[in-house]
Amino acid sequence: MLGEGILKGMVETARNFAGSYVSKDRLTTVEYPEERIAPKENARQFPFLVFDGNDPMAGLRCVACQICEKECPPKCIYIEKSKDKKPDFVGKMQFYPATFDIDVSVCMSCQICVEVCPFDAIKMDQEYELSNDDRFGGLLLNKTRLAKSNEYYGKMHPQEAGAIDESRLKTKEAAEAKVKADAEAKVKAAAEAKAKEAQPPTAPPNKGA
Amino acid sequence: MDIGQLINSILNDPDQVFVLTKAFVVGKFPEGAQPLVSILLSILPILSVFPGLFALTTILERKGLGRIQNRMGPNRVGPFGILQPVADGIKALIKEDVVPRAADKVVHFLAPVVIVIPVIMSYAVLPVGRNMVAIDLDAGLLFFFAVGASTELAVFMAGWSSRNKYSLLGAMRAIGQMISYEIPLILSAITVVMAVGSLSTTSMVDAQAGYYGWLPNWYVFTPWGFAGFLLFLTAATAESNRSPFDIPEGESEIIAGYFVEYSGFKFALFFLGEYLGLFAVSGLAITLFLGGWHAPLPFLEWIPSWCWFFVKLMCFIVLFIWLRGTLPRLRQDQLMNFAWKFMLPLTLINIVVAGIWRFLEPGMLRWAVCAAILAAAYVLLARGLTAARGVAPREYRYAEN
């Protein structure tokens, strides 16, 4: 019948209207400041720096290679390389960032910095409550504010973090094994050298012949 | 007359509480000032009650639409959010008033005023209760339509003076829509004028007094009255720019149309004018087809007449909110086709049917004949138009159900 569609639609909206008072499950929104919906795993806001261990500044994975700074399309990352070096997780001497700033008012959340980082040092955060009454300083995050623990990252992305941890552990073990093997080889070589020195030549050099 | 007598007479007839109080207050003034005081006391309730109803409607609408979309709606300001209109009002007052540099300043300033005044004037002829009408004009209905039509001027003033393409587009859409729907609106009201034999709104209400058994003697319960009511309601929705006929605003296409360049309290005035227009035209629908302030059932007559008017008005408001939550916006060509090809012929047929009703003997035959003509016209017209346009039920290639 003509006009039936309008009536059908009105019945549907009336059902929604009444239903929203009866069942809480129908409500698609939550009362925000009191309740929050947990972010989906793939949700991303702005980057943060991953650190291992307990000391955020000592444990930063970043080696100030500045690839992310160069790749960043809106140029919101600013890095200053350190003058000295300190050992990284395998014991190799590396630079570290003396300054690492991200201006989140410029950042476009493209995740390119994360994709290019060879050290798994920068990852995307899910923190979204960043409103601030200082629109310049409050939105320029320095490395103290950017540093977040590996456990925090593991909570957001358990699988990815697990895979990264595993590969890092393997690298570390390999490095340690190599150090050990090197040390052993050194000891062996030294012992051999010593033995050679101590023993007199078994056959005297053939003079004249 | 002293206070005691006044209270006594109010207790005798609570229906007339406002009429008696007004007469009492007017009587206290010297004779020369009495006409002026009487006019002011008639204007004052109109200026306070209906804008108050507007404030109530804004929160009801936001709550209702929220619930229709399975949301909570505003619930932060005051208990259950009922103080939200107060917060909105304060916000509108303290907002910066931005006037575009290229705008025609005088016209830009006048438009929001010009849209509100005629709408408030149209309340003068609405009978809100027994003996409660500001001025009982003999040509009340004519006055209502004449004054109501002048809001089109304000809409075009707003659209033109803003010097903005969206404003102008919105204003042109609004003019086209309002002029197109003015015709079915008036033609559907003419049936009632034919039945009553007068343009006076009070005599229309008087003509619908009494009951036919249990059924009230309202025009909506006659075939031509029912058809006229539905046509009037549709045209009224379009006249007051309500969804689904809100293309002059069209937030998603022309970002609020003719009031895109208005901010602060001027914007609030446009809103006020729009809602007051909606209430006025709903009040006229009540007067024309729903028996005005008469009670729907004989045993409910003890409830004061003005209560019934406002109960009916609230029903209209709920219906309009419900429609807005349900129907999507029409396209411009659909809108025009609907007005000129469907509603106009139907209102003309309805006028003929009202004439037939007038000259046939009362009884079942009259009912059957009139209802059959209208139903046949409705079905044939709609089917014919659909066939002429070659419209088939839409097939969805990707989304099934």
What number of C-beta contacts closer than 8 Å exist between A and B? 41
Q: In angstroms, what separates the C-alpha of B318 from chain A's closest C-alpha?
A: 11
Complex ipTM tops 0.85? no
> Would you say residue A1 has pLDDT above 60?
no
Range of A29-43, B120-134, B245-259, B339-353 with top mean pLDDT: B339-353
3.40.640.10, 3.30.470.10, 3.90.1150.10, 3.30.70.3270: CATH of A47-150: 3.30.70.3270
How many CB atoms are located within 10 Å of the residue B102 CB? 11
B/e letters for B1-37, b = 16+ CB within 10 Å, e = fewer, are eeeeebeeebeeeebbbbbbebbbebeeeeeeeeeeb
Listed range (A117-131, B84-98, B242-256) with the worst mean pLDDT: B242-256
> Would you say residue B232 has pLDDT above 90?
yes
How far, in Å, are B189, B228, B340, B354 from residue B186 at the CA level? 5, 10, 14, 15
User: What pLDDT digit, counting tens, does each position of A181-198 carry?
Assistant: 888 888 888 888 888 887
- In this prediction, residue A204 carries a pLDDT of 57
Average pLDDT over residues B53-66: 90
| Phi-psi region at B247: left, alpha or beta (left = phi > 0; alpha = psi -120 to 50) | alpha
| Residue B399 lies inside a defined structural domain of this protein | no
A7 touches chain B (CB under 8 A): no
User: What pLDDT digit, counting tens, does each position of B176-226 carry?
Assistant: 888 889 899 999 999 999 888 888 888 888 888 877 778 888 888 888 889
- In this prediction, residue A200 carries a pLDDT of 62
If you average pLDDT over every residue of chain B, what do you get?
85
Q: Chain B partners of A26 at a C-beta cutoff of 8 Å? A: 70
> Would you say residue A64 has pLDDT above 60?
yes
> Would you say residue A145 has pLDDT above 90?
no
If you average pLDDT over every residue of chain A, what do you get?
86
Q: Chain B partners of A14 at a C-beta cutoff of 8 Å? A: 322
User: What pLDDT digit, counting tens, does each position of B123-164 carry?
Assistant: 989 888 888 888 888 888 999 998 888 888 888 888 888 888
Q: 0.80 exceeded by the pTM?
A: no
Residue of B183, B196, B197, B194 lying closest to B145 (CA atoms): B183
- In this prediction, residue B284 carries a pLDDT of 92
Q: In angstroms, what separates the C-alpha of A27 from chain B's closest C-alpha?
A: 5
Q: In angstroms, what separates the C-alpha of B299 from chain A's closest C-alpha?
A: 30
A6 touches chain B (CB under 8 A): yes
Record: contact B71-A26, CB cut-off 8 A: no
- In this prediction, residue A78 carries a pLDDT of 92
| Residue B127 lies inside a defined structural domain of this protein | yes
Higher pLDDT, B66 or B399: B66
A54 touches chain B (CB under 8 A): no
| Residue B363 lies inside a defined structural domain of this protein | yes
User: What pLDDT digit, counting tens, does each position of B306-337 carry?
Assistant: 888 899 999 999 999 999 989 888 888 888 88
pLDDT tier, A116 (very low <50, low <70, confident <90, very high otherwise): very high
Q: Chain B partners of A25 at a C-beta cutoff of 8 Å? A: none
Record: contact A13-B322, CB cut-off 8 A: yes
> Would you say residue A19 has pLDDT above 90?
no
Record: contact B71-A19, CB cut-off 8 A: no
Shortest CA distance from B386: residue in chain A: A2
Nearest-CB residue to B379 (from A2, A10, A16): A2
| Residue B304 lies inside a defined structural domain of this protein | yes
Token digits of residue B91: 């916000």
Record: contact A17-B64, CB cut-off 8 A: yes
Residue B201, CB-side half-sphere exposure with 13 Å CA sphere: 33
Average pLDDT over residues B72-96: 86
Nearest-CB residue to B70 (from A14, A28, A31): A28
- In this prediction, residue B229 carries a pLDDT of 92
- In this prediction, residue B1 carries a pLDDT of 65
- In this prediction, residue B400 carries a pLDDT of 62
Q: Chain A partners of B68 at a C-beta cutoff of 8 Å? A: 13, 16-17
Record: contact A19-B70, CB cut-off 8 A: yes
**Residue extents of the structural domains in chain A:** 47-150
Listed range (A98-102, A166-170, B81-85) with the worst mean pLDDT: B81-85
Shortest CA distance from B385: residue in chain A: A2
- In this prediction, residue A76 carries a pLDDT of 92
> Would you say residue A208 has pLDDT above 70?
no
Record: contact A9-B68, CB cut-off 8 A: no
Higher pLDDT, A71 or B256: A71
Q: Chain B partners of A27 at a C-beta cutoff of 8 Å? A: 70-72
- In this prediction, residue A48 carries a pLDDT of 92
Record: contact A10-B69, CB cut-off 8 A: no
| Residue B218 lies inside a defined structural domain of this protein | yes
Average pLDDT over residues A105-124: 91
How far, in Å, are B262, B307, B357 from residue B154 at the CA level? 13, 33, 40
Q: In angstroms, what separates the C-alpha of A36 from chain B's closest C-alpha?
A: 15
How many CB atoms are located within 10 Å of the residue B259 CB? 28
- In this prediction, residue A202 carries a pLDDT of 64
Residue of A71, A58, A65, A69 lying closest to A144 (CA atoms): A58
Which residue range is the domain that position B166 belongs to? 95-386
> Would you say residue B401 has pLDDT above 80?
no
Record: contact B325-A31, CB cut-off 8 A: no
Backbone angles phi, psi at A140, to 5 degrees: -100, 105
pLDDT tier, A203 (very low <50, low <70, confident <90, very high otherwise): low
Nearest-CB residue to B72 (from A6, A19, A27): A27
Domain total in chain B = 1
Percent pLDDT > 90 in chain B is 14
**DSSP single-letter state for residue B129:** B
Contact in structure between B194 and B358 (CB atoms under 8 Å): yes
A19: burial class by Cβ within 10 Å (0-12, 13-18, 19+)?
middle
Identify residue A16 by its one-letter amino acid code.
Answer: N
| Residue B61 lies inside a defined structural domain of this protein | no
Record: contact B69-A6, CB cut-off 8 A: no
A15 touches chain B (CB under 8 A): no
End-to-end Cα spacing for chain B:
71
Strand partners, A48: A123
Record: contact B326-A9, CB cut-off 8 A: yes
Nearest-CB residue to A29 (from B72, B327, B379): B72
- In this prediction, residue A47 carries a pLDDT of 92
Testing the interface with B: which of A1, A8, A12, A16 to mutate, by most B Cβ within 10 A?
Answer: A16
Q: What part of A 29-48 touches B (C-beta under 8 Å)?
A: 29, 31
- In this prediction, residue B248 carries a pLDDT of 75
Record: contact B323-A27, CB cut-off 8 A: no
